[in-house]
């Protein structure tokens, strides 16, 4: 998996994507997840699930694309399977800390 941290205006955004989805455009109706044009948003360092789990505890929001990346949030109880959107058969999850 690839992971990149974006520190913007006091927010810490985690972007993580399974390697096989970098360079793809996922479409489901009007919803488009463009991991091709925005691959630099996701493609930081190559990591394992432990790294993503650790960052999920620190971030204020997260954009996760792919089975492995999304499974990190579900395994920690941060999200439920019902929170996941399937786009072109690929799990996508966006998380925001409110409050």
Q: Which domain holds residue 28?
A: 2-96
| Interval 42-91: pLDDT, tens | 999 999 999 999 999 999 999 999 999 999 999 999 999 999 999 999 99
Residue 11 pLDDT > 70, yes or no?
yes
Q: Helix, strand, coil % (nearest 5) of the chain?
A: 25, 40, 35
pLDDT at 97: 83
pLDDT at 99: 59
Give the count of domains, the chain.
1
CATH, residue 36: 3.30.1860.10
Task: Report how far residue 37's alpha carbon sits from residue 42's, in angstroms, rounded to the nearest whole number.
Answer: 11
Q: What is the pTM of this model?
A: 0.95
């Amino acid at each position: 998996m690839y992971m990149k941290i974006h520190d913007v205006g006091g927010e810490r955004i985690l972007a993580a994507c399974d390697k096989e989805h970098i360079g793809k455009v996922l479409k489901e109706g009007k919803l488009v997840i463009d991991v091709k044009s925005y691959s630099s948003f996701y493609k930081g360092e190559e990591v394992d699930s432990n790294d993503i789990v650790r960052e999920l505890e620190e971030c204020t929001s997260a954009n996760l694309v792919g089975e492995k990346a999304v499974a990190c949030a579900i395994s920690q109880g941060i999200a439920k399977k019902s929170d996941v959107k399937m786009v072109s058969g690929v799990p996508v999850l966006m998380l925001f800390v409110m409050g």
